[in-house]
Structure 1
Amino acid sequence: MKRKHDVDRFEIKQKLVGDMLAGTKTMGEVGKALRVDALKMSQTNVCKLTGLSRQVVSDIENDMGNPRLDSFQAYFTLMGLELAVLPRERSELVALESTFTKQTNVADTAK
């Protein structure tokens, strides 16, 4: 049973990723919001679990510096996300989302 103060991590993640795909949030903003709001973790905890330095975690969350790809992967894996290559054009993302939704519905129906 959920208590009032419990958060729905999936719901938070879904909203934040939607915001990022819509172009209203950056990767860093999404990561920081997931860390703080969904996972309730400090940067220190992230560092311990990923092996990243505090500076690298800060750079990722503030969209600064030039973190290595493996640092991004470690950070976002901990947040429950994976890195992907997507089209830059928002109109192409909408078409891609439509295709993905259809494929998901077909897969769900087949179960």
Structure 2
Amino acid sequence: MTQQKRRTDAVPDRFELKQRLVQQMLSGNTTLGQIGKALRTGGLQMSQTEVCKLTGLSRQVVSDIENDNGNPRLDNLRSYFKLLGLELAVLPRQRTELDSLLKPYTEV
């Protein structure tokens, strides 16, 4: 099976994976770096080198983002997460405030 075929087959799972990871982040159970690495490897099946070629970021910057190291620049974070289909947002730090914001979206 070719690499392109594997990526095509993985597309529906990528969206489910993204949703699950964002829910984990909103509940405080994962970091931005963990989300990025999981989406890159599991969802997009890309190497760090491929991410670097597409974003123009250095491999060290990508590694630092995925390992929650250093102090990456905002524009680097935006480029990295844009490739993964995500954008950065500002959320309240207090769980109670966040829960009240999310409540209308989680009720059935």
TM-score normalised by length of structure 2 = 0.85
Q: Does 1:74 align with 2:79?
A: yes
2:96 to 88, 91, 103: 91
1:30 and 2:69 aligned? no
Measure the CA separation in 2 of the matches of 1:78 and 1:17: 15
Distance 2:42 2:79 in 1: 19
AA aligned opposite 1:72: L
Distance 2:59 2:67 in 1: 12
Kindly provide the CA deviation profile for residues 38-57 of structure 1, in whole angstroms up to 9, marking residues without a partner as x: 00000000000000000000
**How many residues get paired?**
99
Aligned-pair RMSD on alpha carbons?
Answer: 1.9
Q: Secondary structure at the match of 1:24?
A: coil
Shift in Å at residue 98 of structure 1?
2.0
The aligned counterpart of 1:54 is 59
Structure 2 unaligned regions, length at least 5: 1-5
Q: Provide the C-alpha distance between the structure 2 equivalents of 1:24 and 1:33, rounded to a whole number of angstroms.
A: 14
Counterpart of 2:3 in structure 1 is none
Deviations 1:31-78 (A, max 9, x none): 000000000000000000000000000000000011100000000000
* Gap regions ≥5 residues in structure 1: 106-111
Equivalent residue number for residue 15 of structure 1: 20
Provide the C-alpha distance between the structure 2 equivalents of 1:89 and 1:9, rounded to a whole number of angstroms: 29
Amino acid at match of 1:13: K
* Cα displacement (A) at 1:9: 1.0
